[in-house]
Chains A and B, each alone.
Chain A
């Protein structure tokens, strides 16, 4: 690097130069994200073969929402209501599960010498595909009606004198069983981000508190948690978005049967099994409407950080 000359400031450029750099990206994104996004809105108010407005699907004598007929289906149909309820279960249990366990492991691993190894083990499932995880857990949940249980969970249950459980078909249990797979996969993500935030907590303050006689429990709740709260919020919002879009685990393990349906899988089913783009698009629009508040939060956070920059 040569010595600076007297003039400063960013190099002048011809007005169209930035657009040459941006053009390929903008074109591709317009084609693959913005156009389909807009098109989905349009399809959601059309009938199933896109030959007229959705109102034409109405059956005389039955409730009808006119052009929003597809939305009526998406919001009032029984299977969709199951899906909404299940997504809510997913959000509550998976977000709290991953964040709490992730934080617990991050805090504990900070105290031991084999920190790196422990974190690797928890983090590894992140590198595996949902399909691979699906196979792993289907085997764990295997249900044999005969004497021998080759699934570990049922082997434990029968060894304790219980009756083997069909984890993936038993309503009520099966959604929880799927959420456990999600927690298994995503805890590493939460742990990694929270661990990085923990490293940023000033050791001096912690030491000072300990010298003053604070218990570890107090140190955790009164000092660590408030300090890393912004990061915890980020992890929670990111996880909520991830969970809302959850598809693969359900698709691979139960296909949405036995009352395990979720929104994203329902959309896939409507589109590629029932060949009904109208309904599928309506579900997609609802999904994005649910995500938008979280998205606004994300942009807001981004702008705040821009101000600091």
Chain B
């Protein structure tokens, strides 16, 4: 018995290896983004994010050339205390450090019988010494990227340092008002909410009525109409953009919240009706029949029976719709554009205008991902249920 158990364990090892390997591969890209978003700008561009798990830059070189005399902490020689900022300040770059290393100290070569480090090594030693002495105050991790992204700061330093020295650009106030800076992610977050919440509520409300009619009312052409509706689900979104934006241009709805609310409502309806009808249609017939016999009207049956019973389906649908709207770029690009920038629009803009501004991009991307991630982890059950209801139950 025990033998078979061990055998079973061993046989499962490849399963674990493959599965854990897959999970790691799936996590690493996101992890890289998360780590990078907390690193100072200089670090991001000078070393890979994975180096945070290794020793600080220059540690190995320092150990090779200096560690034996100056000690691990740099304070072993009182006359040449490497933790003293004033001392290190004089030799902060390789160009000033190299002559010192070439010099004789007390009649002996500085490095004894060791050969001199080359220029690159000297530079990394200098970097390490600056960190050791506390001249480089930049820590391994910082929140500056997030602050800069939220306030829409675009300078060469950080929002906090510019505000402290009073050299901020003209559109920044250095107080709470900066959260509403149109270039910032704070404002975009608010806009995304203003788009996503109504765009979730409207279609679900309207779809519920229609789905109820499809499930529990008898009328001519019911099957035919519903089949058409299933077909509408696969109409590509892109196909409707051109005529609608022309229509909106005539009505003055381009660039307004109302325009995007209406569009998303129209486009979310087929799937919402489809899902709701499947759910309502699967409720036991007897419940509704006995209600009608007791004299309930359709309105009563809808509000008092159908809606309360379909809370799980409504939750799945709401999550789906909300995430779809929140993550949408194309519709926001076409109908809102820069007038009310949403998160995806703002990030898309940063990609093109900033080029390699990874410190802002990574932080901004993560800001846009926080809400979906929270929803995903807390409401995963409903999320998966909605997915299954839509695609498999048919």
User: A residues engaging B (CB < 8 A)?
Assistant: 1-5, 7-11, 13, 15, 17-19, 21-22, 24-26, 28-29, 31-37, 39-40, 43, 101, 104-105, 108-109, 111-112, 117-118, 120-132, 134-140, 148-152, 155, 184, 187, 189, 192-193, 196-197, 231, 234-235, 238, 241, 244-245, 247-248, 251-252, 264, 267-268, 271-272, 277, 280-281, 284-285, 287-288, 291, 294-295, 298-299, 301-303, 305-306, 309
B238 with A10: CB separation less than 8 A: no
Tell me the complex Cα distance, A298–B243, Å. Answer: 26
Q: Is the CB of B209 within 8 A of A21?
A: yes
Contact yes or no, B289 A10, CB < 8 A: yes
Q: How far is the CA of A39 from the CA of B239 in the complex (A)?
A: 9
Check if B373 sits within 8 Å of A127, measured CB to CB: yes
Residues of chain A with a CB closer than 8 A to B315's CB: none
CB within 8 Å of A: which residues of B?
Answer: 12, 15-16, 18-20, 22-23, 26-30, 32-33, 36, 44-50, 206-207, 209-210, 212-214, 216-219, 223, 225, 227, 229-244, 246-247, 262-263, 265-267, 269-270, 273, 281, 286-294, 296, 298, 301-302, 323, 326-330, 334, 343-344, 347-348, 351, 358, 361-362, 364-366, 368-369, 372-373, 375-377, 380, 383-384, 387-388, 391-394
Given A131-B344, A148-B48, A184-B26, A37 contacting B235 (CB threshold 8 A) = yes
- Neighbour of B217 across the interface among A8, A18, A264, A295, CB < 8 A: A18
Q: Which of B30, B266, B289, B302 has the most CB of A within 10 A?
A: B266
CB of B19 within 8 A of CB of A108, answer yes
Residues A192 and B242 in contact, CB atoms below 8 Å apart = no
Q: Which residues of B contact A127 (CB under 8 A)?
A: 323, 369, 372-373, 375-376, 383
Q: Is the CB of B45 within 8 A of A150?
A: yes
- The total of Cβ contacts below 8 Å across the A-B interface reads 300
Contacts of B262 in A (CB 8 A): 28, 32
CA of A122 to CA of B22, assembled, Å: 8
* A152-B32 in contact (CB<8A): yes
User: By the criterion CB–CB under 8 Å, are B243 and A43 in contact?
Assistant: yes
Chain A binding site: helix, strand, loop or mixed by DSSP? helix
Interface centre among B262, B365, B383 (most CB of A within 10 A): B365
Q: Does the CB pair B289–A9 fall under 8 Å?
A: yes
Residues on B with beta carbons closer than 8 Å to the beta carbon of A150: 44-45, 47-49, 358
User: In the complex, what's the smallest C-beta–C-beta distance from A168 to chain B, in angstroms?
Assistant: 12
**In contact, A135 and B361 (Cβ under 8 angstroms):** yes
Q: Indicate whether A303 sits within 8 Å of B227 (C-beta atoms), given known contacts A36-B242, A135-B347.
A: yes
Whole-angstrom CA separation of A130 from B235 in the bound complex:
20
Give Cα A189–Cα B235 distance, bound, in whole angstroms: 20
Q: How far is the CA of A145 from the CA of B358 in the complex (A)?
A: 16
List B contacts of A234 (CB < 8 A): 391-392, 394
**Contact flag A124-B373 (CB < 8 Å), given A24-B209, A139-B36, A291-B236:** yes
